[in-house]
Amino acid sequence: SKAWLRYARVAQANSTSSLPASIIALNTTKSSPVYTAGQELAKGIQGIFGKRLPISNGTAKTSSIIVGTAAAYEREFGNSSHFSDLKEDGFWLSIDVESVRIIGQNERGALYGAFEYLSHIAQGRLGGTSFISNPNSPIRWVNEWDNLDGTIERGYAGPSIFFKNGVVVDDLTRVAEYARLLASIKINGIIINNVNAKAELLNSTNIEGLARIADVMRPFGVQVGISLNFASPQSFGLKTFDPLDTSVISWWNNVTNQIYSRVPDMAGYLVKANSEGQPGPLTYNRTLADGANMFAKVAKPHGGIVMFRAFVYDNHLNESHWKDDRANAAVEFFKDLDGKFDDNVVVQIKYGAIDFQVREPVSPLFAHLPNSNTAIELQVTQEYLGQQAHLVYLAPMWKETLEFDMRVDSKPSKVQDIISGQRFKRPLGGSAAVVNVGTDTNWLGHHLALSNLYAYGRLAWNPSEDAKEILQDWISLTFSQDQKVIDTITKMSLLSWPAYENYTGNLGIQTLTDITGNHFGPNPRAMDNNGWGQWTRADSLSIGMDRTVSNGTGNAGQYPKEIAEMYENIETTPEDLLLWFHHVPYTQKLKSGKTVIQHFYDSHYAGAETAASFVPMWESLKGKLDEQRYNDVLFRQIYQAGHAVVWRDAINNFYHNLSSIEDEQKRVGRH
């Protein structure tokens, strides 16, 4: 449960001579993140150096670690020129032999600086340095899909740490531990319940529970928010939930005031409306913006934010219509609403055009909302990506999305600059990741899956960071600074996403899983003739979705001109998205000279082989890691190796049967 906050003794830290003599925390209120920072510094230094430093609020200037806000520092010690470039939540960290200064723009920033300092010394980086660190965007949230009964939708690490039997649990120890973990990666907000929300969350018992959760997370600078069920007023006895009805508005106003009177710093609301059976404003012929703005208006006086999900689509599509396309839905529903959202609404957009697949083009919606705040939605929980039974390090995939240049108006328009607000000069924006931690002691069910949570925080703060460097920091903090440990886990992790793509869904065909059920394990047949609109259009001759403007669903045309042209033309479409945008014969030649079908066969073998190679790689670390984690991961890697073979054979046999085309290497089918 310590994750990357182990504070193991480091070899270089044998001598404590380079350590200041005391910690000065410039706030002694227990709920203050600066107080937390003081405690955390003492704890970390004790672990890393084996020395307990006294914490004081004294004024000693030399030989001390001082942590506090810029304002508090200047009050105590006079003005400083170091802080002028600090942005909200940012910090200045200065490490010198006898003097460490950790100064936040606000209290939360000071805590972030303390964790940053500890991360430095925990990795044996004991040299002097001085720098300012500011976030790329203000919203760095996690979403938890926890239900009030304690189950978690798409959670793979045991039941909820927040809820049980319809109410908030009594013992919030794990919640506090989670807040600490989140603060250490600079996450500042959390939505604690499922977007498929229940009205009962708003009863008085649960509002009290929410307040208790906020109380334990507050010392870590993590603000709590909730998902709302749009029809809540009706569940509580009103005749309607029409967002323009005055009784509905005053009902929401009243509930919101109640919540904020108990949780004055509540982050805000998350809303999934008119999606997958959830209620929403369209029921009353009101727009999605009308719905979002109703919440925005009641939350605004309290400083609350409304995250409004763009995941709206018709889940009863009919595949016999060649032009039906779920990938078109978000733009169709939202583009005309641009500029109509209140300024404390943020449109939360899933990274891909459909749904958390192993490979998708960036959602075209990012290019259509220049007059709205936006955030990207990622998944740390590996819904379509092996559900933590498979190692899949996701930072490389997120980086591709964040760095993708949408070329809006033929100008540089990276997704990371759109969501930060920079590109379109928006005041708000950022990211949210669905995490779904559970009561398992290791939070996510697979020790190695924590690299994804860690990387999410790092990229939310600074998307320009390198996926490999983030990973190596995580390994060294989590396991060991032994070079072989770092090299081996790095190698496995960086091979893992391409391997998973190889054995689950090639060339942009999506994760070929059981689409109507639990989204785990191979089921290529289920990927057609479903109302969900996740289709491959595979028949005996050909495969792929024609999303061109000239002959298909027109989805390519939803992208800005330069990108649209790239996807419209089969020659310029990146091959890893070939079948996302084009319908081709199995015999279509790729740049490698292979046919599509042969590429399928070969990739599935290659992917399964890579997954199998993780086992001996991991075994080569025996003796270098504690036994429990060594064995836990070994168990998962053996499972992954076997399951990759199941994927390989299921998919290869399916397309072999369908196409009647032989594998050149005679591995597929019966011989």
**To 10 degrees, what angle do helices 204-217 and 246-262 make?**
40
CA distance 312 to 333: 7
CA distance 643 to 215: 43
DSSP labels, 28-53? --TTSHHHHHHHHHHHHHHHHHS---
Output 341 or 356, the one with its CB closest to ligand GCW.
356
Output 383 or 473, the one with its CB closest to ligand GCW.
383
Using Cβ positions, the residue closest to ligand GCW within the complex turns out to be 355
For 364-401, b where at least 16 C-beta lie within 10 A, e where not — what string? Answer: bbbbbbbebbbbbbbbbbbbbbbbbbbbbbbbbbbbbb
> Which of 280, 145, 150 shows the shortest CA–CA distance to 226?
145
> Which of 322, 378, 389 shows the shortest CA–CA distance to 355?
378
Q: How far is the CB of 101 from ligand GCW (least distance, A)?
A: 43
Contact between 346 and 428 (Cβ < 8 Å): yes
Does 153 contact ligand GCW by CB under 6 A? Answer: yes
Output 452 or 588, the one with its CB closest to ligand GCW.
452
Catalytic status, residue 144: no
When binding is defined by CB under 6 A, the residue of 83, 91, 356, 443 that contacts ligand GCW is 356
Output 154 or 335, the one with its CB closest to ligand GCW.
154
Print the binding letters for residues 91-130 with ligand GCW: x by CB under 6 A, - otherwise: ----------------------------------------
Number of amino acids touching ligand GCW (CB under 6 A): 10
Output 122 or 157, the one with its CB closest to ligand GCW.
157
CA distance 602 to 600: 6
Strand partners, 271: 228, 308
Burial of 145 (0-12, 13-18, 19+ CB in 10 A): buried
Q: What is the dihedral of CA 312, 314, 320, 323, to 10 degrees?
A: -40
Q: How far is the CB of 361 from ligand GCW (least distance, A)?
A: 17
Output 113 or 352, the one with its CB closest to ligand GCW.
352
Output 263 or 347, the one with its CB closest to ligand GCW.
347
Q: What tokens does 267 get?
A: 């982050």
CA distance 268 to 304: 5
Annotated catalytic residue: which of 146, 177, 242, 355? 355
3-state secondary structure of 139: strand
Number of H helices, E strands in the chain: 18, 18
When binding is defined by CB under 6 A, the residue of 218, 272, 300, 636 that contacts ligand GCW is 272
Q: Which of residues 547-606 bind ligand GCW (CB under 6 A)?
A: none
Length of the chain: 671
Does 311 contact ligand GCW by CB under 6 A? Answer: yes
When binding is defined by CB under 6 A, the residue of 6, 43, 154, 340 that contacts ligand GCW is 154
Q: What tokens does 594 get?
A: 């292979």
Print the binding letters for residues 42-71 with ligand GCW: x by CB under 6 A, - otherwise: ------------------------------
Q: How far is the CB of 542 from ligand GCW (least distance, A)?
A: 27
CA distance 535 to 524: 10
CA distance 344 to 336: 18
Output 38 or 189, the one with its CB closest to ligand GCW.
189
Number of CB atoms found within 10 A of residue 301's CB: 11
Q: What tokens does 618 get?
A: 């991991």
Q: Which of residues 435-454 bind ligand GCW (CB under 6 A)?
A: none
Q: What tokens does 92 get?
A: 């200045």
Q: Which of residues 186-205 bind ligand GCW (CB under 6 A)?
A: 195-196
Print the binding letters for residues 382-411 with ligand GCW: x by CB under 6 A, - otherwise: -x----------------------------
DSSP labels, 462-526? -TTS-HHHHHHHHHHHHT---HHHHHHHHHHHHHHHHHHHHHH--TT----B-TTTTS-SB-GGG
Q: Which of residues 463-492 bind ligand GCW (CB under 6 A)?
A: none
CA 15 to chain centre: 39
Q: Which residue has the tokens 């009919």?
A: 318
CA distance 183 to 128: 24
Output 66 or 349, the one with its CB closest to ligand GCW.
349
Catalytic status, residue 377: no
When binding is defined by CB under 6 A, the residue of 355, 360, 473, 546 that contacts ligand GCW is 355
User: H-type helices in 142-287, by residue range?
Assistant: 173-184, 204-217, 232-235, 246-262
Burial of 17 (0-12, 13-18, 19+ CB in 10 A): exposed
Q: How far is the CB of 223 from ligand GCW (least distance, A)?
A: 22
Output 115 or 532, the one with its CB closest to ligand GCW.
532
Does 302 contact ligand GCW by CB under 6 A? Answer: no
Q: What tokens does 641 get?
A: 């190796």
Output 174 or 272, the one with its CB closest to ligand GCW.
272
Annotated catalytic residue: which of 88, 208, 276, 469? 276
Catalytic status, residue 276: yes
CA distance 355 to 562: 24
Q: How far is the CB of 327 from ligand GCW (least distance, A)?
A: 14
CA distance 225 to 572: 43
Annotated catalytic residue: which of 89, 144, 383, 501? 383
Active site (catalytic) residues: 276, 355, 383
List interacting residues with ligand GCW (CB under 6 A). 145, 153-154, 195-196, 272, 311, 355-356, 383
